[in-house]
């Protein structure tokens, strides 16, 4: 896949993976949590990665505090119906987020309104913002603490690389937080 090859040769992309892994590990060590959100396929990615955090990725270890904001249909429909779809994530960030948490915003365009509102609320509440996006990153790009850009403008191709990057990030977090267990695991995440 040409986009994955281009990403793997892109120093900024690789550095962002390392920086994001370190940033999330720092937050979790300090008692924070990682909140994930996205629309459509990226909602699936948010859930997928939160699942790795709370359950496990590569080896048995204690659960990590990860939460997808895309899963509770009562919450999503109540907010969507009573306030509007643009508020479905921002209201959850306001209610569930705490200073020191990390919000992982997954948007291929970088311009989804509900994600941008959530980013705004996160920043206002002392929550670090990590963006997973595409080549340009839209309005998200300038609002992130760390932004991972996949060098493509195609939503499905960007998403395919997002999940590769998210697995790598999760592996780095796991390795950073559970060094002893990680030393017994064979595959390298460097």
Ligand X SMILES: O=C(CO)[C@@H](O)[C@H](O)[C@H](O)[C@H](O)COP(=O)(O)O
Query: Which positions make up the binding site for Zn(2+)?
Result: 48, 52, 159, 167
Task: Determine if 90 is a binding residue for ligand X (CB under 6 A).
Answer: no
Judged by CB under 6 A, the stretch of 55-63, 88-96, 108-116, 122-130 that binds ligand X is: 108-116
Among 58, 90, 112, 175, binds ligand X (CB under 6 A): 112
Q: Are 98 and 66 in contact (CB under 8 A)?
A: no
**Partner from Zn ion, ligand X, none contacting 107, C-beta within 5 to 8 A by type:** ligand X
Please tell me the distance from the alpha carbon of residue 175 to that of residue 190, in angstroms, as a whole number. Answer: 10
Q: Given the complex with ligand X, which of 106 and 172 has the nearer CB atom?
A: 106
Among 6, 14, 41, 59, binds ligand X (CB under 6 A): 41
Q: Are 25 and 175 in contact (CB under 8 A)?
A: no
Residues 6+ apart with CB under 8 A from 130: 20, 23, 24, 102, 103, 104, 105, 144, 145, 146, 147, 148
Task: Report, in Å, the least distance between residue 173 CB and ligand X.
Answer: 23
Please tell me the distance from the alpha carbon of residue 103 to that of residue 172, in angstroms, as a whole number. Answer: 17
Q: Six-digit token pair at 13?
A: 């992309």
Q: Given the complex with Zn ion, which of 142 and 154 has the nearer CB atom?
A: 154
Grouping H, G, I as helix, E, B as strand and the rest as coil, residue 9 is coil
Site for ligand X in 131-190 (CB under 6 A): 155-156, 159
Q: Six-digit token pair at 14?
A: 């690789």
**Partner from ligand X, Zn ion, none contacting 160, C-beta within 5 to 8 A by type:** none
Q: Are 27 and 100 in contact (CB under 8 A)?
A: yes
**Partner from ligand X, Zn ion, none contacting 109, C-beta within 5 to 8 A by type:** ligand X
Q: Which residues pair with 130 in a beta bridge?
A: 104, 146
Task: Determine if 40 is a binding residue for ligand X (CB under 6 A).
Answer: yes
Task: Report, in Å, the least distance between residue 156 CB and Zn ion.
Answer: 5
Q: Given the complex with Zn ion, which of 28 and 43 has the nearer CB atom?
A: 43
Place of tokens 């997954």: 106
Interface positions with ligand X (CB under 6 A) = 39-42, 107-109, 112, 115, 155-156, 159
């Amino acid at each position: 896949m040409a986009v994955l090859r281009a990403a793997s040769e892109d120093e900024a992309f690789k550095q962002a993976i390392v920086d994001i892994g370190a940033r999330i590990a720092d937050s979790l060590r300090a008692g924070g949590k990682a909140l994930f959100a996205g629309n459509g396929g990226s909602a699936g990615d948010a859930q997928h990665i939160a699942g790795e955090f709370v359950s496990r990725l590569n080896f048995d270890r204690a659960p990590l505090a990860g939460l997808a904001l895309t899963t509770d249909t009562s919450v999503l429909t109540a907010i969507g119906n009573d306030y509007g779809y643009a508020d479905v994530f921002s209201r959850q960030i306001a209610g569930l987020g705490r200073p020191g948490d990390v919000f992982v915003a997954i948007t291929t365009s970088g311009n989804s309104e509900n994600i941008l509102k959530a980013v705004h609320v996160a920043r206002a509440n002392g929550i670090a913002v990590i963006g997973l996006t595409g080549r340009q990153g839209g309005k998200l790009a300038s609002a992130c603490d760390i932004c991972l850009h996949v060098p493509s403008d195609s939503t499905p191709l960007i998403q395919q690389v997002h999940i590769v990057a998210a697995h790598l990030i999760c592996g780095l977090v796991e390795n950073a937080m559970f060094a002893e267990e990680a030393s017994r695991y064979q595959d390298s995440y460097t």
